[in-house]
Structure 1
Amino acid sequence: MRLRSLLFVPGDSERKFAKARTTGADALILDLEDSVAPPQKPRAREHVATLLRDQASRAWSFFVRVNALDSGLTLDDLAAVVQPGLDGLLIPKANGAEDIARFGHYLDALEATAGMAAGSVKLAVVTTETPRAMFNLGSYAPAHPRLVMLTWGAEDLAAAIGATDNRESDGAWTEPYRFVRTQCLFAASAAEVTPIDTIHADFRDAEGLERECRRSRRDGFLGRMAIHPDQVAIINRCYTPSDAEIAHARRIVEAFAADPGAATIGLDGKMIDIPHLKAACKVLASI
C-alpha cells in the first residue's frame, strides 16, 4: 500500500468525492468526523457505505476516518463501512495502542460478518490529538498487525491544552508542536510503520506546502495528509525519490551485494557503511 498523499474528503459530499478520485492521491480518506456537521453524520455514513459498494476498479486506497471512541458514534460508523472495498480506517484522537487493539477486536468480528478475509482492513492512527496520547506514543511498538501508518495533528491538541496559537509569526510550529511532530516520527519508526506528516492548512500556499514537504521528507516522513485536491501533485512530487536518488541507492545496494562480507565500502570517493545501505533500501522500497 503506497501512502505518499492522503486526501481528506467530506463523507457527505458527492461533488468533492468525484473530484478527489481524479487527483492522483494514493489514498482518499472519506471523513465521518470533523468535516461533517452532527446533523449530517447519518447521511454521510450511508453515503460512504454506498461508495464502498461500488466495486469499480480504482488506483487509490479507500480509507474512512470514523468518529472517535468517546463520541458514541464509532460502532455505528464501523457497522456501516466495514465491507468489501474498505482498505483502511483512520483513527482520530487515539490515546495509545490500547485503542488500536480495541478497534482490532471490532474489525475481527465485523470482517467475519461481512465475509471479508481476516485482517483486510488496515489501521492508520492520528497519534497526538489528546494530551494523554503524548505519554503513550511508545506503546505502538511492536505494531498491531493491522497498523500501517502513524500521523499527527495539531488543531485538536491545541484546543485540548488551551493554546492560543500553534504557529510562530513566520509560520513555523511553536515548540510544543515541533516536539509532537518529532515524537510521532520516532514512534512510527519504532513501530516500523509509515510516518505521515500533518496537513498544511493554507491550501492556497503552494510554495509553503512544497517547502514544508521537502523539509519533512528530509527529516524522515514518507508522505503527507492533504485537505485540498490542488495539494496532491505537490505532495506526490516531493515524497517521490528522484531518478538520481534511485540510481544512487541502487549503486549502494549493488556495491554491498558484490561484497557481502563488507561493513564499509568506497563509492565515489566516500566511505559508505551499513546505515547508508539501510537508507538506500528504504529509498528503493518507496518506489
Structure 2
Amino acid sequence: MRLRSLLFVPGDRPERFAKAEASGADALILDFEDAVAAAAKPAARAAVAARLGEPRGSVRLFVRINPLDGGFVADDLAALRGLAPDAIVLPKAEGAASLTELAQRLAAVGIAAPVLPIATETPAAIFALGSYAQAEVPLAGLTWGAEDLPAAIGATTSREDDGRYTPPYEMARSLTLFAAHAAGVAAIDTVYPAFRDLDGLAAYAARAARDGFTGMMAIHPAQVAAINAAFTPTETQIAAARRITAAFAAAPDAGALQVDGRMVDAPHLKQAQRLIARAGADAAAD
C-alpha cells in the first residue's frame, strides 16, 4: 500500500470530499475525532458512511474514529457496520493492547480493516511503542502526533520558536520512526500545521524522507503535492541506487566497493535495494 500523503478531511464536511480526492493524496482520513465538534458527530458518521457505500476511486478511504476510552467510539463503529474502510485510524493508541481491543470491536460490527495507530498521544503510549512489532492485528502503518501529548502532561508547546520540536517531542517522533520499522510497516510523519507555508512544508517533508519516514499526513489539499514529491524517489536517486546494486551484482564476494567516487558497503546496498523497491511500488500504483 503506497502511503506518501494522507489528507485529513472533517467527516461532517462532505462537500469537501471530492476536492480532497482530487488532490493527489494517496489516502484520505475521514475524521470523526478532533476536526468534528460533538454536536456534529452524528452528521459526520452519516456522511462518511454514505461515502463508503458509494463507488471508490483510486484514493484509499481511511476513517479516524474517536478514542477507545471515550463516549463516542461505539456510535462511530456502529455507523461503519458492514462497510469497508481501507483502514481505521486509532487516536490515543497505547500499543498492542489497544489494537487487540479495537480488533474485537471491529469484528463485532463486521469490519475487517488494518489499523493506523496514532501512537504518541498519551504518556503511557510512549512506553508501548515497542509492542507494535508483536501485534497480531494488521497495521496500515504507524504515525504520531505532536499536539495531544504536550496537552496531556501540561507542557505549553511541542515546538521551539523556529518551529523545531523540543527534545521530548523529537524523541517521540524518533521512537515512532523506529517502532514502525521494527514492525515492518509504513512510518508516517505527523502534520505540518502551517498549511500556507509550502516552502517550510517542503523542507520538513524532505527531512522526514531523509530520516526514514515513508509518508506524511496533511491538513490541506495544497500540501499534498509537496508531500508526494518529498516521498517519491527521484530519477537521480534511482539511477544511483541501481549503480550500487549493479556493482555488487558484478562483485558478489566484495565487502566494500567504490561507486561514484565513494566507498559503499552492505548498509548502502540495503538502502539502494529498498529505494528501488519503493520506486517500483510507486510506479505500479500510478
Letter in 2 for 1:15: E
Q: Which residue of 2 aligns with 1:132?
A: 124
Contact 1:93 1:127 in 2 (8 A): yes
Q: Which residue of 2 aligns with 1:74?
A: 73
Q: 1:54 to 1:166 in 2, by over 3 A?
A: same
Q: 1:281 to 1:39 in 2, by over 3 A?
A: same
Letter in 1 for 2:90: I
Q: Which residue of 1 aligns with 2:282?
A: none
Q: Which residue of 1 aligns with 2:19?
A: 19
Distance in 2 of aligned mates of 1:88 and 1:175: 31
Q: Which residue of 2 aligns with 1:117?
A: none
**CA-atom RMSD, angstroms?**
1.6
Contact 1:224 1:235 in 2 (8 A): yes
Per-residue deviation at 1:72? 2.3
Equivalent pairs: percent with the same residue? 52
Gapped regions of structure 1 (runs ≥ 5): 115-119
Distance in 1 of aligned mates of 2:142 and 2:107: 21
Distance in 1 of aligned mates of 2:203 and 2:162: 13
Contact 1:6 1:27 in 2 (8 A): yes
- TM-score with structure 1 length normalisation? 0.92
Contact 2:116 2:140 in 1 (8 A): yes
Letter in 1 for 2:123: P
Question: Would you identify which runs of 4 or more consecutive aligned residues in structure 1 move more than 6 Å?
Answer: none
Contact 1:45 1:80 in 2 (8 A): yes
Distance in 1 of aligned mates of 2:78 and 2:244: 48
Q: Which residue of 1 aligns with 2:272?
A: 280
Distance in 1 of aligned mates of 2:265 and 2:78: 50
Distance in 2 of aligned mates of 1:186 and 1:193: 10
Contact 1:29 1:64 in 2 (8 A): yes
Distance in 1 of aligned mates of 2:105 and 2:276: 35
Q: Does 1:4 align with 2:4?
A: yes
Q: Which residue of 1 aligns with 2:199?
A: 207
Per-residue deviation at 1:82? 4.7
What aligned pairs does 1:144-163 form with structure 2 within 5 A after superposition?
Answer: 144-163=136-155
Q: Which residue of 2 aligns with 1:62?
A: 61
Letter in 2 for 1:124: L
What aligned pairs does 1:188-267 form with structure 2 within 5 A after superposition?
Answer: 188-267=180-259
Stretch moving more, 87-96 or 245-254: 245-254
Gapped regions of structure 2 (runs ≥ 5): 280-286
Letter in 1 for 2:44: A
Equivalent residue pairs, number: 279
